[in-house]
Chains A and B, each alone.
Chain A
C-alpha cells in the first residue's frame, strides 16, 4: 500500500461545478499536510496547508480527519484556470523526517 494515495482521476467537470479530491495516508505518525498544484510541464506550487480544524481560502476548502487518516480538497465554482494536477503532500516523522507526495489527481475544467 502506498503511503499517500489519491483519487486516480482524471476529473472532467464543467465550469462552475464543485469538485472534491480525496487523499488517504497510511502512517499515523504523519504530522502535517498540504495540497500543491502542478500545471503541465511546470513545478508544483503550494496551494494550501491543511489543518485539523479545516481551512478555507476563497473557493478552496481543505479538511483533515486524523481518525480516518484522510484529507480532502474541495473546489467550488470551478474555473478553467483550475485545470491542473493536485498533489496531496504529507510530512511524517518515522525515525527520520520525510515528505511524501501523492501521485496527483488530474482535473480538467471545461467551458
Chain B
C-alpha cells in the first residue's frame, strides 16, 4: 500500500505553546489529505479536509484558528495546534487519499499518528 509519513510521533509540550505536525505522502501525490483526532477508546473524529492549494474544510465544532492547516504541496500537509491546552491532548492522525477518477473508490492511507500531551 501507499506510504504516509507523519512526524513527530510523540510530543509533550507546555500549555500555551504551539505544536506543528507534518504529514507527507512518500510515494504518491495527494491532492486531498485528512486530519483526525482520536481520544482513548473512541472512534476517529474527522477534524478537517485539507486540499492542496486551497483552504481546508473544517468539520462542525472544530476551530479553524485553533487548528491551522496548510497544504502547500501535493505531498505535504501540516496541522498546527496553536496555544495548546491540556484538553487538546489526543492522538492526531493524518491520512492521504489515493485518487482515481472514481472518487468513490478512493482509499485512505494513514500516517502513524502523533500523540500530543499538553502539560
Contacts and interface: CB of A to CB of B under 8 A. Distances in A.
Contact of A46 (B42, B91, B105, B107): B107
A97 B51 CA distance: 13
A34 B98 CA distance: 14
Interface stretch (B60-68, B75-83, B108-116): B108-116
A53 to B, nearest CB: 15
Contact of A91 (B91, B93, B103, B111): B103
Contacts of A91: 103-106
Contacts of B34: 99
B26 to A, nearest CB: 14
A103 B105 contact: no
Interface in A14-65: 31-32, 34, 41-46, 49
Nearest to A96: B57
B43 A102 contact: yes
Interface string A76-111: 000000000001010111000101011110000000
B11 interface: no
Contacts of B44: 44, 87, 101
A44 B1 CA distance: 13
Contacts of A101: 43-44, 46
A15 to B, nearest CB: 24
B113 A49 contact: no
A6 B93 CA distance: 21
B103 A97 contact: yes
**Chain A CB within 10 Å — which of B42, B43, B109, B115 has the most?**
B43
Contacts of A46: 1, 107-109
B93 A43 contact: yes
A36 B66 CA distance: 29
A62 B112 CA distance: 25
Given A32-B105, A91-B103, A91-B106, A43 B43 contact: no
Interface of A: 31-32, 34, 41-46, 49, 87, 89, 91-93, 97, 99, 101-104
14 contacts: A31-B105, A32-B105, A41-B113, A46-B108, A46-B109, A49-B105, A91-B104, A91-B106, A93-B103, A93-B104, A97-B104, A99-B106, A101-B43, A103-B42
